[in-house]
Amino acid sequence: MALTELPGLLFFTGFVLLFLRVINSDAVLSRRVFGLAFVAGLCLGASILGRQTYLIVVPVLVVMMFWLREKWSVVLICMITALAVCTWIFALWHGLAPPHYYQLAHSSVSFTNLLLSLSYAGVATLFLNPAWLWRQPATVWIICTVCGFALAYFAQNYQDPPAKSLLVHAFGMQLGLWIGFVVGCGLAAIGAVWACTSFKTFWRKRRDPGQVFLLLSLGALALAPMKMTAQFSSRYVVGCLGILFLVVDADLQSRRYWAARMFVGSFLGMAILWTYFQQA
């Protein structure tokens, strides 16, 4: 994770925790609830200033106004506060991104970026709590694996596989690109399983407003890179981590080999960054 992403992630995680307290509060329209909603809005607005990807959560708040009918005014306060904090920068840019971004974008939607986003979210889940994915029936894994490989075959770029710098450094250009493509197909399969598991979890917990908020926000953040057509970066998925941890860890509370998984993930991340720096 880049250090520049940390403040936005911390503010967004603060927003999520505060908004969950608003949802779970027994008091419907008390000053305490309005205060929590106001501070949550400040945190969301600050996180949007750090990474405009978090703006995708505002439509989720609109949906939550209908889900939390008794607290719709509280949700509205949170949403208005967040927009009041961050909209000035979009007015300054005359759009949702700096002007130079639109010069780099080649299309309005990138299916490849969506596939990569789901894949990275799936891999992050394997590090946080693999049991959340492993518990799916074998038929789900088989169907999603076939679909993932098929989608990756048509969408992945042979010349730009995941962790390209590390693979090329370790295996050479030609072999590294082929290994990267196979790895990309495997990641796409994991991403398909992750998407299926997320939807099934949402449907199973659709009566729980807190889980609905978490899963809708998680899905929105995972879909957001589809509109970022200029490039794809794992930084776009970093914003999911706060919510992803709450979803997958609250579901099963798996702690076995957690430290080992974190060490492996950190080591791979440092290796990728080091080889990228060497090639830059």
Q: Among 139-148, 203-212, 224-233, name the one with the lowest average pLDDT.
A: 224-233
* Res 273 pLDDT > 70: no
pLDDT of residue 36: 93
pLDDT of residue 52: 83
Q: Mark whether 92 and 115 lie in a shared domain.
A: no
pLDDT in tens, 74-98: 999 999 999 999 988 888 877 777 6
Angstrom distances, CA of residue 50 to CA of 9, 28, 160, 280? 9, 31, 27, 25
Q: Mark whether 85 and 135 lie in a shared domain.
A: no
Domain boundary among 99, 129, 161: 99
Domain tally for the chain? Answer: 2
Q: Mark whether 66 and 183 lie in a shared domain.
A: no
From 77, 114, 76, 133, select the one nearest 221 (Cα to Cα). 114
Q: What residue numbers bound the domain in which 227 lies?
A: 105-279
Q: Mark whether 24 and 147 lie in a shared domain.
A: no
pLDDT of residue 3: 46
pLDDT of residue 169: 73
Q: Where does residue 183 fall: left (phi above 0), alpha (psi -120 to 50 degrees), or beta otherwise?
A: alpha
Q: Mark whether 204 and 157 lie in a shared domain.
A: yes
**155 touches 112 (CB < 8 A):** yes
> 25-29, long-range: CB within 8 Å, 24+ apart, which pairs?
28/70, 28/71, 29/70, 29/71, 29/73, 29/74
Q: Mark whether 260 and 161 lie in a shared domain.
A: yes
pTM score above 0.75? yes
* Res 62 pLDDT > 90: yes
Domain boundary among 99, 126, 150: 99
Angstrom distances, CA of residue 82 to CA of 41, 47, 255? 4, 9, 35
pLDDT of residue 1: 46
Domain boundary among 99, 117, 144: 99
Q: Mark whether 184 and 242 lie in a shared domain.
A: yes
Q: Mark whether 64 and 126 lie in a shared domain.
A: no
Q: Mark whether 146 and 255 lie in a shared domain.
A: yes
Q: Mark whether 84 and 117 lie in a shared domain.
A: no
* Residue-averaged pLDDT of the chain: 81
Q: Mark whether 220 and 205 lie in a shared domain.
A: yes
**208 touches 63 (CB < 8 A):** no
Q: CA-to-CA distance for 77 and 237, rounded, in angstroms?
A: 27
pLDDT of residue 57: 94
Q: Mark whether 31 and 113 lie in a shared domain.
A: no
Q: CA-to-CA distance for 166 and 161, rounded, in angstroms?
A: 10
Q: Among 32-46, 125-139, 199-213, 230-244, name the one with the lowest average pLDDT.
A: 230-244
